[in-house]
Structure 1
């Protein structure tokens, strides 16, 4: 399994499995299939409502807990120092683990950045106490990362952001490279939300990607995942279909040429599929995270 080394020396599989928008009653079967296929990194979040099912799947998989890299996210409703420490307790209880491999903040919450700083300082304590092995952020733009680094001691290990051929956020990625922050790509093959709301067709139907896929005898999804991996990003594709879960994992037996990578880079549209980070506020997006 190909791995990346985070800025604190912890290793993470380069290809993980995501469960965003996976209903709780489908999550366990999806994670079961992923672990059976060979995935060893599972990414979930408090806001997804399926941490418990992820934990059940890992516990029942027969795969040793030490071999599975577990990542989850603190939701904005649990920001603040004490609130985030409690958010960790809720997540660990639902996942059925004593230690979380990677714990990150789900959004920057720019409208109340003091709460964001407090939440991140709680992550630093959890890291110092070995309750987590690495910490990071998600959906942080350059201005958020800059403000965070001015206020805390530990540089985030990852920044999980929307990255796919139509929206690459290169400025954010470049900041990450400069500061040793690994980019985790969510919606790495575009995602239904992107092409439904952005006015574009699916990246899976892009003719340029299709031509590259045909040349390699691979699917468009496999080509896009390979594009991420060759450019040093960690990726977390999602699916509930065992055949697609297996397909997304089968990306280590071919390589894209420099010209093919450049072609995919050239598909940038500048249009975001997910919410604008500045629009994420407690008033609009806050909701309680259940205890169990």
Structure 2
């Protein structure tokens, strides 16, 4: 027996797609409580063998937890799926009109919702949780958007979480996160333009965790030439991933600026932590 929301999602997945559906019955251990601010992973497979099965189901026929969004002009940007909702639709997807307000924190008026049905909608991060955005865009029966694209406020990607978990289980539309760079390019497309999602096993949370670590000074050599060499190596290695290249460039610029600050205040006794205390310290991979 499974909960009703998961059952509805399973029936919808099996009846709404020509792709074969693969699954497994796995014993799970779940925390008693789930709330805002806690980890998104409230339930875990009970044993290592079970966890191996779950991990093996994350990639089925190349449909991973991330991929690329292809734009009409030939540009492509990365996305990561939320930890709730359903997989992205394949084939071309029409863009809906820009949201106003852009946060998608409340259901659209009936006329706008009808016009946006089945289309991709871009929402900016902030003002409410990712789960609340998804609930708002899927509130009207028969008026659900085709996909919700959340534009991050920085050049970074992570799997958006839902808390409490049972509310996330009620979401039956695709929700993806894109970087600020990708979000700007997508949101400035003319209405009725088409985009295309292409799932890829090369777009992963692990890859973006590595990029995130470059925002720490300890990730870079202290010697200027060695740092420059590492930067050029990283850019070359990530050619074809414009979001990552942009993030690497930003991290490199920040590290170089910290060096300039240190030179400017040498001998004044100002610590590194004190100089950066107003920076964004949130680097968790699952955010609400």
TM norm. shorter chain > 0.5: no
Greater percentage in helix: 1
TM-score w.r.t. length of structure 2: 0.30
